[in-house]
Amino acid sequence: MADSDTWYDPKGRIVFTCNKGLTGVGFSRPEWNEIKGMKSGTVERTITDDTLPGGPKERTIVYEAPFDQCDREEDYEIVWAEFERRVETTKHTKEP
């Protein structure tokens, strides 16, 4: 699974990933090994962003610790429970 070794900061930015489809995203393995245990604070990474019109631009990404992995199954359980709650609420408000 692509998420099995992908780590995020609290704002959802990928700090480190082994996902081959995301080459250049986040820190390298050696850099990651140095920062992965951070409990607080920030780390910066300057990249060349060539994703927008106007050509490449340098930009600095500031990542906030602590870093965490997603639990997609848990996320889906939470979301589906909310969908079901909303459907039930809608049913009760539409009944005469």
75 part of a folded domain: no
Question: Cα-flanking dihedrals φ and ψ of residue 12, to 5°?
Answer: 90, 5
Q: Is 88 among the domain residues? A: no
Note whether residue 87 is domain-resident: no
Residues 6+ apart with CB under 8 A from 24: 47
Query: Domain for residue 26, yes or no?
Result: yes
Q: Per the domain annotation, does 77 fall within a domain? A: no
- Asked whether residue 83 is domain-assigned, the answer is no
Are 39 and 49 in contact by the 8 Å Cβ rule? The answer is no
Q: Which domain holds residue 32?
A: 2-70
**What percentage of the chain has pLDDT greater than the value 90?**
67
pLDDT exceeds cutoff 90 at 44: yes
SS3 58: strand
**pLDDT score for 55:** 93
Q: Taking residues 39-58, report their average pLDDT.
A: 94
Rounded mean pLDDT of 62-74?
91
